[in-house]
A and B are shown apart, each in its own frame.
Chain A
Amino acid sequence: MGANRRMAAFDEMSGFDGATRDAYAKLETWLKTTPPEEFSTRRSQADVFFRRIGITFAVYGDEQSTERLIPFDIIPRVITGPEWARLDRGLRQRVTALNMFLKDIYGPKECLKARIIPDDLIYRNAGYCLQMINQPVPHDLYVHIAGIDIVRVDADNFYVLEDNARTPSGVSYMLENREVMLRLFPELFAQHRVAPVENYPDALLATLRSLAPRTAAKDPNVVLLTPGQFNSAFYEHSFLADKLGIELVEGTDLFVRDEVVYMRTTQGPKRVDVIYRRIDDDYIDPLAFRADSVLGVPGLISAYKAGNVTLTNAVGTGVSDDKAVYSYMPEIVKFYTGEEPVLKNVPTFRCREPDALKYVLDNLGDLVVKEVNGSGGYGMLVGPHATKAQIETFRKKLKHEPEGFIAQPTLALSTCPTFVASGVAPRHVDLRPFVLTGSDGIRCVPGGLTRVALKDGSLVVNSSQGGGTKDTWVLDA
């Protein structure tokens, strides 16, 4: 179906016109001159490596297995030094604005007074946490670890597709993909000057330590809170805890006494200062939020509100992940930083607005429709690839609850050469860089996670929907 409606996409290696871009010249030679058997050997080595280290990932709703490998493609995705410099500037600007925005909407609400964004978009937002209103957070920072999803459409234009300000995942793949590539293709690294990413765990630890409450001991106790080994990202939780040298705790390992959080150790209770939590707000404290949660820590929010523990990310950041709020990000960036946004937004139709809704309903076949608070590629309609029945289902949903949706034109995401059954073929990719914000500044390692849609023509890169990953190379200029 999608084939005849496919748009010409910019290819990371060969642009629109088939002429190899400079950054990819050596890779192209490598692809052309390496015998196919060599590639298949290397690919199976990569597979064995990932399986042995247990870097698996669970797919919800998949009864076949609780653990699955995310397909890894050995052809790297390359970003030039100048391209990265611009992305880096844009990412820092955007995350700075996100933090100021959250501080504002949970505090003085200047942006509402200035009519930058409609009131009800905040007040009626499922991610807006009433408990956080006028609640100070350590160092006035909310989003300490952000994953900003970026897509490219041509030689010059990168767009932000969405902001992940809750608990973005995928950084372990960024790190492990690089390790595998270094093992499999040392000669490629000798030919390219690839900026390293291995300092990410150090940067993360420094960020987390900088966020400890001011009352904490000089050597703060930082832990990573996981929902447990049946969570889809458990591998990443355990990987990061190991790299950072911090305890990987589950809810039952923590308890709260007199508004202070402790962990149960073989030597008795030990005070906890910073919790890098990978549990959603709803589940983090059964006394404050969902009472049926068995993953959280009763009383945690009381300790948090008392200022005795830092939660990263802060509670209530989900409001900025909302895709209708996203559509105001250019204005938000300008309002708080006083600068023009470096990174563009994808043009977005807010279905809550009658004119936009009418346009969207008339053009469903050409648009991508997303739930405002969905994630992971769930609850999404890709018009050009959808069946009639799927389109009609969305039409009903849209009419029933227009404020629950936004729509965007189907972008021709850039493609990158990828190994598939028939050989090497272009496949759509995106990029998730990770931006760290501590009380001592912003850190962003060059690169991120490149996700690739392995199905021909597919635009859905999410690993839960059959996407794969690639190593991402930022070339040192």
Chain B
Amino acid sequence: MLSRTADSLYWVSRYVERAEYLARILEATTRLSNLPSSYGGAASEWISAVKTAGCGEIFPQHHDSATESSVHHFLCFSPDNPSSIRNCIEVARSNARAVRTALTSEMWDALNGAWLELKKYDGKKLTRDDYGRFIEFVKALSLTFDGSAYRTMLRSDAYWFSRLGVYVERADNTARILDVKYHVLLPETEKVGGSLDYFQWTTILREVSALTAYHWVYRESIKPWLVADLLIFNRQMPRSLASCYENISRFLDAIGDSYSRQGPAQRMARKTLSTLANRKITDIYDHGLHEFITDFINDNNRLGSTISEQYLI
């Protein structure tokens, strides 16, 4: 297939995944910030949301303070934010349009329909309820788009590149949550600071839609090191780093097999996957959770560029 087509498929998926991630951050943060301050609800959650969204640097250039309304606007619609949900949907749709023929009509319908729906929010002053509906709409988009891809695409390189986009983006998103929140995810050996942090942990789980999953996996009350374990190592959890890399490696191998040629991207993915398979959460804490996450984010970015050099340009 054309390199440009593969590139667009990959980025369409990345942008849709990113839009959903932003929606989840907003949803979880709204819930946390509504709690009384004695339970951890605090205005500072909004700046944390901005950082988790990866906008820690550009947000202050446009807003003096991070409030519920400024952050909602910035992350959902602001033209000043290249990764706003609206921009994600617009870029995804524009990429999709350029390679319309490589998508199934269901996938195109999902994106084009969302893009048309987006216009309804243009220039409107949104209430809290409106934002709530908007968040639901974005989550529904990613479910429909992803589901359409899964249910309707031929299992060929087009599908594999589109899946790669989902998982490379998702790995980045989960790692970013860990990067911003690592300081509340203390190891078992540290004394935990009381109930305040409890709501931080549940917020993290909500951001990756794993609150219920946590209980099914660990069958105990929420412990910060287990939250970290779930997000990093648990292969049953579809947003964990390990699960993302299992998929990245699988789809890269599928591409490599069908082209009868392996390359640096396959090797890099396999290396990261084996690191995730062979380490334990206690080792990570011994070496520093923050260092681990920083390295992971850098490696994941490098994998992204390698995939691009190997196939997309």
Using CB atoms, name the residue of chain A closest to B116: A51
Q: In whole angstroms, what is the CA distance A80 to B5 when docked? A: 44
The answer, among A234, A238, A252, for a CB contact under 8 Å with B4, is A252
Contact of A266 among B6, B94, B113 (CB under 8 A): B6
Q: Which residues of A contact B109 (CB under 8 A)?
A: 52
Tell me which residues across on chain A come within 8 A of B255, comparing CB atoms. 266
Q: Which residues of A have CB within 8 Å of B2?
A: 247, 249, 253, 263-266
Measured CA separation A263–B255 after assembly (Å): 19
Q: Which of B5, B161, B311, B313 is the most central at the interface, judged by chain A CB atoms within 10 Å of its CB?
A: B5
In the complex, which residue of chain B has the Cβ closest to the Cβ of A51? B116
Does any Cβ of B come within 8 Å of A242's Cβ? yes
- Whether B229 sits at the interface, judged by CB under 8 Å, is no
Q: Which residues of B contact A247 (CB under 8 A)?
A: 1-2, 5
B264 to chain A, nearest CB (A): 15
CB–CB B108/A54 < 8 A: yes
- Judged by a CB distance under 8 angstroms, whether B275 is at the interface is no
In the complex, whether B216 has a CB less than 8 A from a CB of chain A is no
Q: How far is the CB of A452 from chain B (nearest CB, A)?
A: 26
Q: In the complex, how many angstroms separate the beta carbon of A276 from the nearest chain B beta carbon?
A: 14
C-alpha gap A264/B100 in the complex (Å): 18
Interface membership of B101, Cβ < 8 A: yes
A229 to B101, CA, bound (A): 12
> Which of A247, A265, A266 has most chain B Cβ within 10 Å?
A266
Knowing A52-B113, A266-B157, A266-B311 touch, does A242 contact B4 (C-beta < 8 A)? no
Number of contacting residues on A, CB 8 A?
21
Q: Within the complex, what minimum Cβ distance (angstroms) separates B256 from chain A?
A: 11
| B contact residues around A263 at 8 Å (CB) | 2
By the criterion CB–CB under 8 Å, are B100 and A54 in contact? yes
Q: Could you tell me which residues of chain A, from 245 to 290, have a CB within 8 Å of some CB in chain B?
A: 247-250, 252-253, 263-267
- A52-B112, A54-B108, A229-B94 known; A264 vs B101 contact (CB < 8 Å): no
Given contacts A247-B2, A250-B4, A253-B3, contact A54 B112 (CB under 8 A): yes
Is B98 positioned at the interface, with any CB of A under 8 Å from its CB?
Answer: yes
The answer to whether B259 and A248 touch across the interface, beta carbons within 8 angstroms, is no
Residues of chain A within 8 A (CB-CB) of B206 are none
B3 touches A248 (CB 8 A): no
Query: Is B181 located at the chain interface by the 8 A CB criterion?
Result: no
Say how far A270's CB is from chain B's closest CB, in angstroms. Answer: 9
Is B270 located at the chain interface by the 8 A CB criterion? Answer: no
Determine the chain A residues whose CB is within 8 A of the CB of B4 once the complex forms. 249-250, 252-253, 264
Contact partner of A242 (CB less than 8 A), chosen from B100, B157, B259, is B100
CA–CA, A435 to B220, complex, Å?
73
The minimal Cβ–Cβ distance linking A387 to chain B, given in whole angstroms, is 37
7 A-B interface contacts by CB (under 8 A): A51-B116, A52-B113, A247-B2, A264-B2, A264-B313, A265-B1, A266-B259
Question: What is A's interface to B at a CB cutoff of 8 Å?
Answer: 51-54, 228-229, 234, 238, 241-242, 247-250, 252-253, 263-267
- Closest 4 A-B residue pairs measured CB to CB? A242-B101, A238-B100, A266-B311, A264-B3
Given contacts A238-B101, A242-B101, A266-B255, 10 further A-B contacts (CB under 8 A): A52-B109, A54-B100, A238-B97, A238-B100, A242-B100, A250-B4, A264-B4, A265-B1, A266-B259, A267-B261
